[in-house]
């Protein structure tokens, strides 16, 4: 099952807030509700929110009785503005919306024909995502050896994409090739994408894993129990600095200090060459309730009145990254040269 798909003139998505307790599908009929779903993390993961936003524009195009082409294009731009504002860090969101708007402006014909072209483009983005992930997984699986234990951060699997995933897709494909891989799953506080979502996916694929709290990663790396670190990214700058789920930076630092290779797996739609380095990537700050709202043995984890900070992403500098796996090949340092080369292939 895809995490984001089109059915009966509506957008359907797995509600990722409910997993692992329940596998529930939610249905969307208009773009503002899709923007809300992205903000509330019903759907999450850079490529998945890009695809959801693209289908959000298809809903905008099909759902309104536009009387002219110009009116439709204006409606799409307005809806794109609302969707774009939903989350700031993952570049895939803006990338998908820009691609949709360009397709709409280039399309000729009647209003229904335009709406049809917009839907076809959204479907194209979703289908391509799956193909690209499968290609990246084949390429990246060569980096995994039989018997490896790897640390994985956040959720980068089928749920974070339309299907198959980025870093978790690489691990999944390596296992399908018959390699024995053990995954140490960072729980990924505060939203617990690792413990809730990655562990759920690994259960479905029958891949052996153990959940660790994020602050245990350094210990496992230092004691030689881990051969590789894998994660995805929400935006990669031209020099290879990348934004990914909060905690990635500390993980990469600890891996580097212990000479453990660090591999980022990203489709080229996640690379933003307009940004020179990581300092220019906007970091989303989410509600403190996500940090304070967790329970410990049924009790609040902090005293009443406690305040918290909640940056959702951090920047891992390029010098801590061994390779960036894309659908166009494995990119090695110096990234400021090799990323551009890969993108132009
Ligand atoms: O806040 P989230 O859950 O949307 O963050 C997702 C991540 O950080 C993933 O690692 C990233 O999108 C790459 S995986 C496709």
118: how many CB neighbours lie within 10 A of its CB? 25
Structure tokens, 166: 């980025």
User: Per DSSP, which regions of the chain are E strands?
Assistant: 4-7, 10-14, 25-28, 149-152, 182-186, 209-212, 228-231, 235-237, 242-245, 262-265, 271-272, 295-296, 299-300, 313-316, 323-326, 329-331
CA of 224 to the centre of ligand 1 (A): 27
Pocket of ligand 1 (CB under 6 A): 44-47, 90, 154, 156, 160-161, 166, 193, 231-234, 244-245, 312
CA-wise closest residue to 212 among 191, 193, 194: 194
Kindly write down the DSSP assignment for every residue of 40-65, as one continuous string: TTSS-SHHHHHHHHHHHHHHHHHHS-
Query: Whole-angstrom Cα distance, residue 246 to residue 261?
Result: 19
**Is residue 331 within 8 Å of 338, Cβ to Cβ?**
yes
Which residue has its alpha carbon closest to ligand 1 atom 5?
A: 45
Q: What integer pLDDT is reported at residue 63 of this predicted model?
A: 83
Q: What integer pLDDT is reported at residue 64 of this predicted model?
A: 74
Q: What integer pLDDT is reported at residue 167 of this predicted model?
A: 98
Q: What integer pLDDT is reported at residue 65 of this predicted model?
A: 80
DSSP β-bridge partners for residue 228: 150
Question: Quick check: bond before 20 cis, omega within 30?
Answer: yes
Phi, psi of 257 (to 5 degrees): -65, -20
User: Which residues touch 46 (CB under 8 Å, ≥6 apart)?
Assistant: 90, 91, 92, 93, 160, 232, 233, 234, 235, 270
**Is residue 121 within 8 Å of 55, Cβ to Cβ?**
no
Q: What integer pLDDT is reported at residue 20 of this predicted model?
A: 98
Kindly write down the DSSP assignment for every residue of 284-324, as one continuous string: PB--THHHHS-EETTEESS-TT-----B-EEEE-GGG-SEE
**Is residue 266 within 8 Å of 236, Cβ to Cβ?**
yes
Structure tokens, 44: 């999450």
CA of 124 to the centre of ligand 1 (A): 21
Q: What integer pLDDT is reported at residue 1 of this predicted model?
A: 87
CA of 198 to the centre of ligand 1 (A): 11
* Residue whose CB lies within 8 A of the most ligand 1 atoms, among 53, 232, 327, for a mutation test: 232
Per annotation, catalytic residue among 234, 241, 272, 314: 234
* Residue whose CB lies within 8 A of the most ligand 1 atoms, among 154, 287, 311, 326, for a mutation test: 154
Q: What integer pLDDT is reported at residue 312 of this predicted model?
A: 98
Query: Whole-angstrom Cα distance, residue 15 to residue 36?
Result: 12
Report the interhelical angle of 111-141 vs 46-63 (nearest 10°). 170
The answer to whether residue 234 is catalytic is yes
CA of 249 to the centre of ligand 1 (A): 14
What letters, b where the CB count within 10 A reaches 16 and e where it falls short, cover 306-330? eeeebebbbbbbbebbbbbbbbbbb
**Is residue 132 within 8 Å of 51, Cβ to Cβ?**
no
CA of 114 to the centre of ligand 1 (A): 32
Q: What integer pLDDT is reported at residue 135 of this predicted model?
A: 98
pTM of the model: 0.97
The closest-lying atom of ligand 1 relative to the alpha carbon of residue 48 is: 15
Which residue has its alpha carbon closest to ligand 1 atom 10?
A: 232
Structure tokens, 221: 């790396």
* Residue whose CB lies within 8 A of the most ligand 1 atoms, among 42, 46, 167, 235, for a mutation test: 46
State which residues of the chain have pLDDT below 50: none
DSSP β-bridge partners for residue 13: 4, 26
Euclidean distance between the first and the last CA atom of the chain, given in angstroms as a whole number: 31
Q: What integer pLDDT is reported at residue 229 of this predicted model?
A: 99
């Amino acid at each position: 099952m895809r995490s984001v798909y089109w059915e009966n003139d509506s957008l359907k998505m797995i509600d990722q807030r409910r997993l692992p307790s329940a596998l529930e599908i939610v249905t969307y009929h208009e773009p503002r509700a899709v923007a809300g779903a992205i903000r509330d993390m019903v759907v999450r993961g850079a490529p998945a929110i890009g695809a959801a936003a693209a289908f959000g524009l298809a809903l905008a195009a099909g759902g309104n009785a536009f009387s002219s082409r110009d009116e439709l294009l204006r409606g799409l731009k307005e809806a794109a503005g609302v969707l774009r504002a939903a989350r700031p860090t993952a570049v895939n969101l803006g990338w998908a919306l820009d691609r949709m708007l360009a397709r709409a402006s280039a399309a000729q014909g009647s209003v229904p024909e335009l709406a049809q072209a917009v839907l076809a483009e959204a479907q194209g983005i979703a289908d391509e995502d799956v193909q690209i992930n499968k290609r990246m997984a084949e390429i990246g699986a060569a980096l995994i050896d039989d018997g490896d234990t790897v640390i994985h951060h956040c959720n980068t699997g089928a749920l974070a994409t339309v299907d198959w995933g980025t870093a978790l897709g690489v691990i999944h494909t390596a296992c399908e090739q018959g390699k024995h891989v053990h995954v140490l799953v960072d729980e990924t506080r505060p939203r617990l994408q690792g413990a809730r979502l990655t562990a759920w996916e690994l259960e479905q694929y029958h891949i052996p894993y153990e959940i660790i709290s994020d602050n245990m990663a350094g210990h496992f790396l230092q004691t030689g129990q881990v051969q590789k670190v894998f994660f995805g990214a929400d935006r990669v700058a031209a020099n290879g600095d990348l934004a990914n789920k909060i905690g990635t930076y500390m993980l990469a630092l600890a891996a580097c200090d212990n000479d453990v290779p660090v591999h980022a797996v990203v489709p080229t739609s996640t690379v933003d060459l307009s940004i020179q380095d990581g300092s220019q990537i906007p970091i989303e700050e989410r509600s403190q309730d996500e940090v304070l709202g967790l329970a410990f043995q049924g009790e609040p984890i902090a005293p009443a009145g406690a305040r918290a900070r909640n940056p959702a992403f951090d920047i891992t500098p390029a010098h801590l990254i061994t390779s960036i796996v894309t659908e166009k090949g494995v990119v090695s340092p110096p990234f400021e040269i090799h990323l551009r080369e890969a993108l132009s292939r």
